[in-house]
Protein backbone atom coordinates (compact mmCIF):
# COMPACT_ATOMS: atom_id res chain seq x y z
CA UNK A 1 0.00 0.00 0.00
CA UNK A 2 1.31 3.46 -0.87
CA UNK A 3 1.60 6.25 1.71
CA UNK A 4 -1.56 6.68 3.80
CA UNK A 5 -4.05 8.72 1.82
CA UNK A 6 -6.53 11.26 3.04
CA UNK A 7 -10.01 10.33 1.88
CA UNK A 8 -11.81 13.59 1.05
CA UNK A 9 -15.55 14.22 1.49
CA UNK A 10 -17.42 12.97 -1.56
CA UNK A 11 -15.60 9.63 -1.33
CA UNK A 12 -17.20 6.31 -0.46
CA UNK A 13 -16.60 4.39 2.76
CA UNK A 14 -17.11 0.64 2.74
CA UNK A 15 -18.50 -0.89 5.93
CA UNK A 16 -18.16 -4.60 6.65
CA UNK A 17 -21.18 -5.53 8.75
CA UNK A 18 -24.78 -4.40 8.51
CA UNK A 19 -25.88 -3.76 12.10
CA UNK A 20 -26.70 -0.77 14.28
CA UNK A 21 -23.10 0.42 14.64
CA UNK A 22 -22.74 0.45 10.86
CA UNK A 23 -26.02 2.29 10.59
CA UNK A 24 -24.91 5.03 12.98
CA UNK A 25 -21.54 5.25 11.24
CA UNK A 26 -23.26 5.68 7.85
CA UNK A 27 -25.46 8.46 9.25
CA UNK A 28 -22.45 10.30 10.68
CA UNK A 29 -20.55 9.82 7.42
CA UNK A 30 -23.43 11.29 5.41
CA UNK A 31 -23.36 14.42 7.57
CA UNK A 32 -19.66 14.84 6.76
CA UNK A 33 -20.33 14.43 3.04
CA UNK A 34 -19.37 10.78 2.53
CA UNK A 35 -21.30 7.95 0.93
CA UNK A 36 -21.27 4.50 2.50
CA UNK A 37 -21.51 1.09 0.91
CA UNK A 38 -22.44 -1.67 3.36
CA UNK A 39 -21.38 -5.31 2.94
CA UNK A 40 -23.11 -8.09 4.90
CA UNK A 41 -24.47 -11.58 4.31
CA UNK A 42 -28.05 -10.86 5.36
CA UNK A 43 -30.96 -10.24 3.02
CA UNK A 44 -31.84 -7.09 4.94
CA UNK A 45 -29.42 -4.76 6.71
CA UNK A 46 -30.37 -1.87 8.96
CA UNK A 47 -27.08 -0.18 8.05
CA UNK A 48 -27.83 -0.73 4.36
CA UNK A 49 -31.18 1.05 4.87
CA UNK A 50 -29.40 4.38 5.47
CA UNK A 51 -26.39 3.88 3.18
CA UNK A 52 -25.91 4.79 -0.46
CA UNK A 53 -25.72 1.11 -1.32
CA UNK A 54 -25.82 -2.41 0.03
CA UNK A 55 -23.87 -5.42 -1.18
CA UNK A 56 -25.13 -8.77 0.01
CA UNK A 57 -22.33 -11.30 0.21
CA UNK A 58 -20.78 -13.88 2.47
CA UNK A 59 -17.60 -13.05 4.31
CA UNK A 60 -15.79 -15.89 2.56
CA UNK A 61 -16.86 -14.81 -0.93
CA UNK A 62 -13.61 -13.23 -2.09
CA UNK A 63 -15.04 -12.27 -5.50
CA UNK A 64 -17.93 -10.38 -3.93
CA UNK A 65 -15.54 -8.76 -1.43
CA UNK A 66 -13.27 -7.68 -4.30
CA UNK A 67 -16.21 -6.16 -6.21
CA UNK A 68 -17.26 -4.34 -3.04
CA UNK A 69 -13.74 -3.10 -2.33
CA UNK A 70 -13.32 -1.75 -5.88
CA UNK A 71 -16.39 0.46 -5.43
CA UNK A 72 -15.13 2.20 -2.25
CA UNK A 73 -12.18 4.37 -1.21
CA UNK A 74 -11.58 3.09 2.33
CA UNK A 75 -13.04 0.22 4.32
CA UNK A 76 -13.90 -0.20 8.00
CA UNK A 77 -15.73 -2.88 9.99
CA UNK A 78 -18.49 -2.52 12.53
CA UNK A 79 -17.96 -5.78 14.46
CA UNK A 80 -14.77 -7.39 15.65
CA UNK A 81 -15.69 -10.93 14.64
CA UNK A 82 -15.49 -10.19 10.95
CA UNK A 83 -13.37 -13.04 9.58
CA UNK A 84 -9.72 -12.05 9.30
CA UNK A 85 -9.57 -13.50 5.77
CA UNK A 86 -12.33 -11.11 4.66
CA UNK A 87 -10.30 -8.13 5.87
CA UNK A 88 -7.18 -9.48 4.19
CA UNK A 89 -9.14 -9.93 0.93
CA UNK A 90 -10.34 -6.31 1.10
CA UNK A 91 -6.83 -5.06 1.90
CA UNK A 92 -5.63 -6.29 -1.48
CA UNK A 93 -7.74 -3.58 -3.06
CA UNK A 94 -8.23 -0.73 -0.60
CA UNK A 95 -7.00 0.46 2.79
CA UNK A 96 -8.88 -1.15 5.67
CA UNK A 97 -8.89 0.96 8.81
CA UNK A 98 -8.38 -0.09 11.61
CA UNK A 99 -6.79 -3.03 9.75
CA UNK A 100 -6.03 -6.67 10.48
CA UNK A 101 -4.03 -6.55 13.73
CA UNK A 102 -6.86 -5.16 15.91
CA UNK A 103 -9.27 -7.95 14.95
CA UNK A 104 -6.52 -10.56 15.11
CA UNK A 105 -5.94 -9.54 18.72
CA UNK A 106 -9.61 -8.97 19.66
CA UNK A 107 -10.85 -12.28 18.30
CA UNK A 108 -8.88 -14.38 20.73
CA UNK A 109 -9.04 -13.76 24.49
CA UNK A 110 -5.65 -15.27 25.28
CA UNK A 111 -3.89 -13.29 22.56
CA UNK A 112 -5.72 -10.18 23.77
CA UNK A 113 -4.57 -10.66 27.38
CA UNK A 114 -0.98 -11.27 26.24
CA UNK A 115 -1.11 -8.15 24.09
CA UNK A 116 -2.37 -6.08 27.03
CA UNK A 117 0.57 -7.35 29.09
CA UNK A 118 3.10 -6.21 26.46
CA UNK A 119 1.65 -2.68 26.79
CA UNK A 120 1.71 -2.66 30.61
CA UNK A 121 -2.10 -2.87 30.75
CA UNK A 122 -3.09 -4.88 33.83
CA UNK A 123 -5.67 -7.69 33.72
CA UNK A 124 -7.19 -10.18 36.13
CA UNK A 125 -5.01 -13.23 36.84
CA UNK A 126 -5.64 -15.88 34.24
CA UNK A 127 -4.38 -19.15 32.87
CA UNK A 128 -4.90 -20.76 29.47
CA UNK A 129 -7.06 -23.91 29.45
CA UNK A 130 -6.45 -25.50 26.05
CA UNK A 131 -5.83 -29.12 27.02
CA UNK A 132 -6.04 -31.57 29.93
CA UNK A 133 -2.62 -30.57 31.27
CA UNK A 134 -3.50 -26.86 31.37
CA UNK A 135 -6.86 -27.68 32.93
CA UNK A 136 -5.08 -29.58 35.70
CA UNK A 137 -2.62 -26.69 36.22
CA UNK A 138 -5.21 -23.87 36.28
CA UNK A 139 -5.47 -22.17 39.66
CA UNK A 140 -7.45 -18.91 39.16
CA UNK A 141 -10.40 -20.00 41.32
CA UNK A 142 -13.05 -18.86 41.90
CA UNK A 143 -13.09 -17.65 38.34
CA UNK A 144 -14.78 -17.43 34.99
CA UNK A 145 -13.95 -19.92 32.28
CA UNK A 146 -14.25 -18.17 28.91
CA UNK A 147 -13.85 -19.56 25.40
CA UNK A 148 -10.96 -17.84 23.61
CA UNK A 149 -13.07 -17.25 20.51
CA UNK A 150 -16.60 -16.10 19.76
CA UNK A 151 -17.58 -15.15 23.27
CA UNK A 152 -19.16 -11.81 24.08
CA UNK A 153 -21.78 -10.36 26.42
CA UNK A 154 -21.35 -13.26 28.83
CA UNK A 155 -21.77 -15.92 26.12
CA UNK A 156 -19.32 -18.83 25.94
CA UNK A 157 -18.42 -18.54 29.59
CA UNK A 158 -19.18 -20.09 32.95
CA UNK A 159 -18.54 -19.14 36.56
CA UNK A 160 -16.58 -21.82 38.34
CA UNK A 161 -15.94 -22.16 42.07
CA UNK A 162 -13.77 -25.23 42.43
CA UNK A 163 -11.96 -27.88 40.40
CA UNK A 164 -15.08 -29.99 39.91
CA UNK A 165 -17.14 -27.11 38.47
CA UNK A 166 -14.14 -26.02 36.35
CA UNK A 167 -13.82 -29.48 34.80
CA UNK A 168 -17.59 -29.71 34.21
CA UNK A 169 -17.65 -26.25 32.60
CA UNK A 170 -14.79 -27.11 30.25
CA UNK A 171 -16.72 -30.21 29.12
CA UNK A 172 -19.86 -28.11 28.64
CA UNK A 173 -17.94 -25.56 26.56
CA UNK A 174 -16.90 -28.43 24.27
CA UNK A 175 -13.26 -28.69 25.50
CA UNK A 176 -12.54 -25.70 23.32
CA UNK A 177 -9.59 -23.35 23.82
CA UNK A 178 -10.45 -21.35 26.94
CA UNK A 179 -8.94 -19.10 29.54
CA UNK A 180 -9.71 -19.25 33.22
CA UNK A 181 -9.93 -15.73 34.62
CA UNK A 182 -9.92 -15.02 38.34
CA UNK A 183 -13.16 -13.46 39.50
CA UNK A 184 -12.55 -9.74 40.03
CA UNK A 185 -14.26 -8.21 43.04
CA UNK A 186 -14.86 -4.96 41.20
CA UNK A 187 -16.34 -1.74 42.48
CA UNK A 188 -17.55 -0.80 39.02
CA UNK A 189 -16.85 -1.19 35.32
CA UNK A 190 -15.68 1.55 32.97
CA UNK A 191 -14.79 1.94 29.32
CA UNK A 192 -12.38 4.12 27.38
CA UNK A 193 -13.08 4.82 23.72
CA UNK A 194 -10.03 6.16 21.91
CA UNK A 195 -9.74 7.49 18.39
CA UNK A 196 -6.40 7.54 16.60
CA UNK A 197 -6.02 9.41 13.33
CA UNK A 198 -3.98 8.80 10.23
CA UNK A 199 -1.35 11.19 11.63
CA UNK A 200 -1.16 9.32 14.96
CA UNK A 201 -3.06 12.00 16.92
CA UNK A 202 -5.23 10.48 19.66
CA UNK A 203 -8.33 11.53 21.54
CA UNK A 204 -9.93 9.59 24.40
CA UNK A 205 -13.62 10.21 25.04
CA UNK A 206 -14.43 10.89 28.69
CA UNK A 207 -14.47 7.58 30.58
CA UNK A 208 -17.93 5.97 30.81
CA UNK A 209 -19.16 4.30 34.00
CA UNK A 210 -20.91 1.10 32.93
CA UNK A 211 -23.48 -1.05 34.62
CA UNK A 212 -24.02 -4.56 33.20
CA UNK A 213 -27.00 -6.86 33.68
CA UNK A 214 -26.59 -10.56 32.93
CA UNK A 215 -23.27 -9.80 31.25
CA UNK A 216 -24.84 -7.22 28.89
CA UNK A 217 -24.26 -3.48 29.07
CA UNK A 218 -27.28 -1.82 30.72
CA UNK A 219 -26.34 1.80 31.41
CA UNK A 220 -23.43 4.18 30.79
CA UNK A 221 -23.05 7.32 32.86
CA UNK A 222 -20.78 10.25 31.98
CA UNK A 223 -19.06 11.95 33.71
CA UNK A 224 -18.05 8.92 35.78
CA UNK A 225 -17.99 9.79 39.49
CA UNK A 226 -14.60 8.22 40.21
CA UNK A 227 -11.25 9.38 41.60
CA UNK A 228 -9.14 11.40 39.17
CA UNK A 229 -6.30 8.84 39.39
CA UNK A 230 -8.65 6.00 38.45
CA UNK A 231 -9.99 7.91 35.45
CA UNK A 232 -6.44 8.81 34.44
CA UNK A 233 -5.35 5.15 34.62
CA UNK A 234 -8.33 4.05 32.49
CA UNK A 235 -7.52 6.74 29.91
CA UNK A 236 -3.83 5.84 29.94
CA UNK A 237 -4.66 2.19 29.22
CA UNK A 238 -6.99 3.17 26.37
CA UNK A 239 -4.36 5.42 24.80
CA UNK A 240 -1.62 2.79 25.22
CA UNK A 241 -3.84 0.28 23.47
CA UNK A 242 -4.62 2.52 20.48
CA UNK A 243 -0.93 3.37 20.14
CA UNK A 244 0.16 -0.24 20.61
CA UNK A 245 -2.20 -1.42 17.89
CA UNK A 246 -0.93 1.34 15.58
CA UNK A 247 -4.64 1.90 15.09
CA UNK A 248 -6.35 4.18 12.60
CA UNK A 249 -9.92 4.30 13.80
CA UNK A 250 -11.60 3.67 17.14
CA UNK A 251 -10.95 1.20 19.91
CA UNK A 252 -13.03 0.62 23.03
CA UNK A 253 -11.44 -0.89 26.12
CA UNK A 254 -13.71 -2.31 28.83
CA UNK A 255 -12.18 -2.35 32.29
CA UNK A 256 -12.88 -3.23 35.91
CA UNK A 257 -12.17 -0.82 38.77
CA UNK A 258 -11.24 -2.85 41.85
CA UNK A 259 -12.17 -1.92 45.42
CA UNK A 260 -8.81 -0.15 45.87
CA UNK A 261 -9.20 1.86 42.64
CA UNK A 262 -6.86 -0.21 40.46
CA UNK A 263 -7.91 -0.57 36.83
CA UNK A 264 -7.81 -3.98 35.11
CA UNK A 265 -8.60 -4.44 31.43
CA UNK A 266 -11.28 -6.96 30.49
CA UNK A 267 -11.64 -6.82 26.72
CA UNK A 268 -11.31 -4.56 23.69
CA UNK A 269 -13.34 -3.90 20.55
CA UNK A 270 -11.76 -2.01 17.62
CA UNK A 271 -14.97 -0.27 16.57
CA UNK A 272 -17.62 2.08 17.96
CA UNK A 273 -19.01 0.72 21.22
CA UNK A 274 -22.42 0.56 22.88
CA UNK A 275 -20.99 2.40 25.88
CA UNK A 276 -20.22 5.33 23.59
CA UNK A 277 -23.74 6.01 22.34
CA UNK A 278 -24.04 8.92 24.78
CA UNK A 279 -21.59 10.82 22.55
CA UNK A 280 -24.33 11.25 19.93
CA UNK A 281 -26.27 13.63 22.18
CA UNK A 282 -23.86 14.78 24.84
CA UNK A 283 -20.40 15.19 23.33
CA UNK A 284 -18.92 17.76 20.97
CA UNK A 285 -18.13 14.95 18.52
CA UNK A 286 -19.91 11.58 18.39
CA UNK A 287 -17.92 8.36 18.36
CA UNK A 288 -19.27 7.69 14.86
CA UNK A 289 -18.16 11.03 13.48
CA UNK A 290 -14.81 10.48 15.17
CA UNK A 291 -14.43 7.10 13.46
CA UNK A 292 -15.16 8.64 10.07
CA UNK A 293 -12.72 11.46 10.76
CA UNK A 294 -10.01 9.01 11.81
CA UNK A 295 -10.30 6.61 8.86
CA UNK A 296 -10.59 9.42 6.33
CA UNK A 297 -7.59 11.32 7.68
CA UNK A 298 -9.56 14.37 8.82
CA UNK A 299 -8.52 16.10 12.07
CA UNK A 300 -10.15 14.45 15.09
CA UNK A 301 -12.98 16.43 16.69
CA UNK A 302 -13.07 17.75 20.27
CA UNK A 303 -14.44 15.38 22.94
CA UNK A 304 -15.86 17.84 25.47
CA UNK A 305 -18.96 16.70 27.34
CA UNK A 306 -21.82 19.08 26.52
CA UNK A 307 -24.22 17.70 29.16
CA UNK A 308 -24.10 15.05 31.89
CA UNK A 309 -25.72 11.91 30.53
CA UNK A 310 -26.94 8.43 31.31
CA UNK A 311 -27.47 6.08 28.38
CA UNK A 312 -29.77 3.08 28.72
CA UNK A 313 -29.10 0.19 26.36
CA UNK A 314 -32.47 -1.04 25.02
CA UNK A 315 -32.34 -4.47 23.46
CA UNK A 316 -34.84 -5.96 21.03
CA UNK A 317 -38.42 -5.36 22.09
CA UNK A 318 -37.39 -3.08 24.98
CA UNK A 319 -36.95 -0.40 22.35
CA UNK A 320 -40.63 -0.52 21.36
CA UNK A 321 -42.17 -1.08 24.83
Tell whether residue 184 is a contact of ligand AMP (CB under 6 A). Answer: yes
205-222 per-residue burial string, b: 16 or more CB within 10 A, e: under 16? bbbbbbeeeeeebebbbb
For ligand AMP, which stretch binds (CB under 6 A), given 37-45, 56-64, 177-185, 313-321?
177-185
Let me know: does 245 contact 174? Beta carbons within 8 Å: no
Strand partners, 254: 191, 267
Q: How many binding residues for ligand AMP (CB under 6 A)?
A: 14
Residue 66: CB minimum distance to ligand AMP, A: 34
Assess 266 for contact with ligand AMP (CB under 6 A). Answer: yes
Entry field: residues in the chain = 321
CB 202 within 8 A of CB 195: yes
Whole-number minimum distance, CB 318 to ligand AMP, in Å?
A: 19
Residue 111: how many CB atoms within 10 A of its CB? 14
267 binds ligand AMP (CB under 6 A): yes
Quick check: 152 binds ligand AMP (CB under 6 A)? yes
Residue 70 or 172 with smaller CB distance to ligand AMP: 172
Interacting residues with ligand AMP between 6 and 35 (CB under 6 A): none
Q: How far apart are CA 151 and CA 58, in angstroms?
A: 21
Q: What angle do CA 100, 102, 104 make, to 5 degrees?
A: 65
User: Looking at 183, 188, 202, 305, which residue binds ligand AMP (CB under 6 A)?
Assistant: 183
Helix (H) and strand (E) counts for the chain?
A: 10, 15
Q: Looking at 54-62, 80-88, 129-137, 150-158, which segment touches ligand AMP (CB under 6 A)? A: 150-158
CB of 275 to ligand AMP, least distance (A): 10
Interface positions, 83-142, toward ligand AMP (CB under 6 A): 124
Minimum distance, C-beta of residue 186 to ligand AMP, in the bound complex (Å): 6
Q: Which of 80, 112, 181, 289 binds ligand AMP (CB under 6 A)?
A: 181
CB of 181 to ligand AMP, least distance (A): 4
Strands 249-258 and 263-269, sheet pairing: antiparallel
Burial category of 5 from C-beta neighbours within 10 Å (exposed 0-12, middle 13-18, buried 19 and up): middle
User: 112 near 103, Cβ under 8 Å?
Assistant: no
Q: Select 64 or 145, whichever has its Cβ closest to ligand AMP.
A: 145
Which residues are near ligand AMP by CB under 6 A? 124, 144, 151-154, 181, 183-184, 189, 212, 215, 266-267
Amino acid sequence: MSTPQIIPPGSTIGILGGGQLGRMTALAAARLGYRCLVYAPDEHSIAGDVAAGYVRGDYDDTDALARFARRVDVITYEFENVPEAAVVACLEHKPVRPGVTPIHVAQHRLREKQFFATLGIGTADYQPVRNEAELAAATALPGILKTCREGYDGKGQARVHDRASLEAAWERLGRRECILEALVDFRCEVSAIVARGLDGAMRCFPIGLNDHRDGILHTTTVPADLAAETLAMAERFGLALAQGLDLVGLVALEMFVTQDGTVLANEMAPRPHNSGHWTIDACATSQFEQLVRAICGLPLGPVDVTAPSRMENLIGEEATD
